[in-house]
Structure 1
Amino acid sequence: MLLAIEAGNTNIKFALVNSDGTPRARWRIATDARRTADEYAVWLIGLIELEGLDRNVVDAVAISTVVPRALHNFQTLAEKYFNVTPLIAGRAPLEYGIALDVDEPHAVGSDRACNAIAAHAAHDGDLIVISFGTATTIDHVDFRGAYKGGIIAPGLNLSLDALVAAAAKLPRIAIEAPDTDNVIGRTTESQMLIGIYWGYVAMVEGLIARMKSQIGRPVKIVATGGLAALFQQHEALFDAVDPDLALKGLALLWRRSAKEG
């Protein structure tokens, strides 16, 4: 069974993936580049056992990370506790296998590449993949599966943190979908939520419209990322929402590599 590790700037997702590519179990932990392999092992092996499984079910480990400092400890985790040499997304033999049609292909994050791979495998035609995480990324994947580039914007939580840090009298609020579509807030908290939430919806709608116009062909919109669930009520905005898109792309990479090997 594959242990897939997808490390973002805010959270790290671990998943046990069946041979057909479906997740058997998944867990999330806050990103901390200082966390050691031993700390990961105590936490992760305990969770595997809670699933009624033994650590020996893991016979492969694949890693996607945008946090370079964390990579060494993931590699040590795989080698010391699961007795396997991990595969790293973007490096031989786990190369992406898609065209990175941008000016700096080496700078494309493995999360965005894995999102592109999984989205293209699940949907036909041109795609816009929106990932709501620490940053919000909006990427174009063409009908052939090539990554064509995209947009990077501050994420929801990052925007809220900057607002609260810069304005002394504003309170910290929880980000959630507002109860109504009303955009005239009657309290400080409601006004902040409207600005963050509906402002973000408006930004995404505007950028999607601009990107669609530039692509010039029919496009499907796929949303992912830890905060994607906040926007699921906007059915007209997205054609699909899949929080596990990057994990599925990583698992698909590993399966292709295993077949080629």
Structure 2
Amino acid sequence: MILVLDVGNTNIVLGVYEGKNLIADWRLATDHKRTADEYGVQVMQLFTQKKLELDKVEGVIVSSVVPNIMYTVEHMVRKYFNQTPLVVGPGIKTGINIKYDNPKEVGADRIVNAVAAHETYNRALIIIDFGTATTFCAVTKNGDYLGGTICPGIKISAEALFEKAAKLPRVELVKTPGVICKNTVTSMQAGILYGYTGSVDYIVEKMKKEMQDYGESEPLVIATGGLATLISKDSKHIDKVVPYLTLEGLRIIYDKNKEQVS
């Protein structure tokens, strides 16, 4: 079994693979105040719930966009799994050629998503990850990571509206029947969701045109992340929702770097 961990600003997503099959996955809150033991005990309980044994884990891989929690996560892995985790970063084989001005600036999660999508679909791609921030990544058929766009996540946008406008309440992110709404709550819900969907489609349209300048054919648009399904329902351009894209990318990268682990 292989344990994969994606450490994000809001959540740590864990998955356990047996071969190429994802047999368990969980989501924990990212909290730099928690200790390695606190995370370790919780992970042990999750393994017990699924009737999985910690000592059957043969390897661990971690991607992270939160540097100040990495010592805790790595210490937890060493103490509770008796493994030195493989960390996605410089020197790791990915099969992706990063065309960023400074490749080290690209978030590990964006690289991992690109690896998974490229290996799976082998065509021009636009990858949208709806996380704390929403990222758009352009990848060529040959595996060149061209770059992309970073936007405030939909939850950040909704929270900012609540915090900065004194008379507006905090609202649940749900779809409304239309945009001509009859009360404040549904008016906010419509504005947040339909407005965000519109911005997603606009960015994708521009990204598609720019990818044509690189000689790419019509890209496949993939969405992942917690709110991907909600936004994709009204998007004109999202072709597929792949919930476990990041976990799958981590598994693929682990397989590419097995000799380094051993």
Give the TM-score of the pair, scaled to structure 1.
0.94
Give the equivalent residue in structure 2 for 1:208.
204
Q: Distance in 1 between matches of 2:97 and 2:245?
A: 19
Q: Are 1:86 and 2:85 an aligned pair?
A: yes
Give the equivalent residue in structure 2 for 1:37.
36
Give the deviation of 1:47 after TM superposition: 0.8
Alpha carbon RMSD of aligned pairs, Å?
1.4
After TM superposition, the runs of 4+ consecutive aligned structure 1 residues lying more than 3 A away are none
Deviation by residue 1:104-123 (Cα, 9 ceiling, x = unmatched): 21100000000000011111
Give the equivalent residue in structure 2 for 1:132.
130
Q: Equivalent residues in 2 for 1:1-261 (5 A)?
A: 1-20=1-20, 22-92=21-91, 94-178=92-176, 180=177, 182-216=178-212, 217-234=217-234, 236-258=236-258
Give the deviation of 1:219 after TM superposition: 1.0
Give the deviation of 1:233 after TM superposition: 2.2
On the 8 A contact 2:175/2:190 being kept in 1, the answer is no
Deviation by residue 1:127-168 (Cα, 9 ceiling, x = unmatched): 000010111111101111121100011110100111111100
Classify the secondary structure of the residue corresponding to 1:117.
Answer: helix
Give the deviation of 1:215 after TM superposition: 1.0
Classify the secondary structure of the residue corresponding to 2:97.
Answer: coil
On the 8 A contact 2:197/2:234 being kept in 1, the answer is no
Q: Distance in 2 between matches of 1:121 and 1:60?
A: 21
Structure 2 unaligned blocks of 5 or more: none
Q: Distance in 2 between matches of 1:123 and 1:219?
A: 10
Classify the secondary structure of the residue corresponding to 2:4.
Answer: strand
Q: Distance in 2 between matches of 1:68 and 1:258?
A: 24
- What is the total number of aligned residue pairs between the two structures? 257
Give the TM-score of the pair, scaled to structure 2.
0.94
Give the deviation of 1:259 after TM superposition: 5.6
On the 8 A contact 2:193/2:231 being kept in 1, the answer is no
What is the letter of the counterpart of residue 187 of structure 2?
A: Q
What is the letter of the counterpart of residue 162 of structure 1?
A: A
Classify the secondary structure of the residue corresponding to 1:222.
Answer: strand
Give the deviation of 1:235 after TM superposition: 6.8
